[in-house]
Amino acid sequence: MPPTLRSPRRKAFKSGIALFLTFVAGYVDIVGLATVYQMFTAHMTGTTVHLGEQIIERNWKAAMIAATIVAVFFLGSVAGRMLIEIGARLRFRRIASITLILELLLLLTAGWWGSRVLPGPQRASDETWLICVILGLFAAAMGLQTATLTRIGPLTVHTTFVTGMLNKLAQLVTRWIFLHHDIHHGAPPEGHARETLSKVRWQSALMIGIWICYLGGAVCGTWAGLRWQLRALFLPCLMLLFAIAADQILPLSLEEEKQQSE
């Protein structure tokens, strides 16, 4: 019998895959920036800031690239959420495999085709449309991943950016401090406070893990991108195969499907 949505086994399993996917996002984000054009494809806050800067500087090439990335990321996320909704309506438990396969194909295309049309490091003379297409593949993949895994039990997570996760960590640390204060000063009910403290510790550890994995992905992506250019994307493609296999063991998007159907 499959584990319930809130079972400890499911929570631990899904947390591990979330960390895994976060590494992929950090890796992909830096490979696009280092090998194609100086724009983020998973971190839309930074790309939006670049868009505003380039508009003021009237650098229309860079502005078009940034606008394309933001638009395609959004469309990829919409497509991912639509697939999750379809999965919920059809009661298809392994819908995450579909979104992850699409992400894999997008990155595989960017790595294989992109390395042929853009074999060297990023060059200012490359045509704008070509850069938009290649980075659009990156952004669509990240948008799909963003929609695929968003909840672990009641906890909201993001696997393609860490700003929200750091903000959540700050909230958890603040709560941890006050819970410790309540427990040590005998504030009732102490048993409930200790149980809540245990949940806060686990959630804090997950937030820290997400940040570390994103950093680790960026470090490895920088190293690989400098050596293999866009062919460095073949590594996250292999990692996504692992995530797809994991979805066959324990469906990853059940919370997302349940949320969509409510």
Q: What is the CATH number of the domain that holds 210?
A: 1.20.1250
Whether the predicted pLDDT of 197 surpasses 70? yes
Domain of 212 in residue numbering reads as: 8-261
Integer Cα distance of 176 and 196 in angstroms: 9
* H or E element in which residue 151 lies: strand 151-152
Number of domains in the chain: 1
pLDDT at residue 176 greater than cutoff 50? yes
Question: Could you tell me if residue 3 is inside a domain?
Answer: no
**Is 97 inside a domain boundary?**
yes
Which tokens go with 63?
């502005």
- Residue 102 above 50 pLDDT? yes
Q: Please tell me which residue, 187 or 195, carries the higher pLDDT value.
A: 195
Domain assignment of residue 68, yes or no? yes
Residue-wise pLDDT tens digits, 214-235: 999 999 999 999 999 999 999 9
Structural domain includes residue 153: yes
Residue type, 1: M
Q: How far is CA 61 from the centre of its chain?
A: 27
Q: Per the domain annotation, does 167 fall within a domain?
A: yes
pLDDT of residue 113 exceeding 90, the answer is: yes
Using the predicted structure, report yes or no on whether residue 148 has a pLDDT greater than 60.
yes
Judge whether 2 lies within some domain: no
How many CB atoms are closer than 10 A to CB 147? 21
Give the global pTM: 0.91
Is 1 among the domain residues? Answer: no
**pLDDT of amino acid 212:** 98
Say what angle helices 190-228 and 8-35 make with each other, to 10 degrees: 30
Does an H or E element contain 152, and which? strand 151-152
Q: Helices marked H in the chain — which ranges?
A: 8-35, 44-56, 60-90, 95-117, 128-148, 163-184, 190-228, 234-249, 254-261
Tell me how far apart the terminal alpha carbons of the chain are, to the nearest angstrom: 24
CA dihedral of residues 126, 132, 138, 141 (deg, nearest 10): -160
Mean pLDDT value across the chain = 90
What is the reported pLDDT for 3? 47
Angle at 46 between CA 59 and CA 28, to 5 degrees: 105
Residue 125 lies in a domain: yes
Residue 46, C-beta contacts closer than 8 angstroms, at least 6 positions apart: 40
Percent of the chain exceeding pLDDT 70 equals 89
Question: Is the per-residue pLDDT at 21 higher than 50?
Answer: yes
